[in-house]
Amino acid sequence: MSRKTILRELQERFPFAETHLDLSLLKLQPDAEAETENIFYDMATSIKDSEMLVGNNGLCLLIAFAQEQIQREARKLEEKRDDKA
Query: Total domain count for the chain?
Result: 1
Is 77 domain-assigned? yes
Is 66 domain-assigned? yes
How many helical (H) and strand (E) elements, i.e. helices and strands, does the chain have?
Answer: 4, 0
Model confidence at 2, pLDDT cuts 50, 70, 90, reads: low
pLDDT tens-place string over residues 5-52: 889 899 999 999 999 999 888 888 889 999 999 998 998 888 877 777
Q: How far apart are CA 53 and CA 15, in angstroms?
A: 28
38: amino acid identity, one letter: N
Is 19 domain-assigned? yes
Q: Model's pTM, two decimal places?
A: 0.72
Domain limits for position 67: 6-84
Is 1 domain-assigned? no
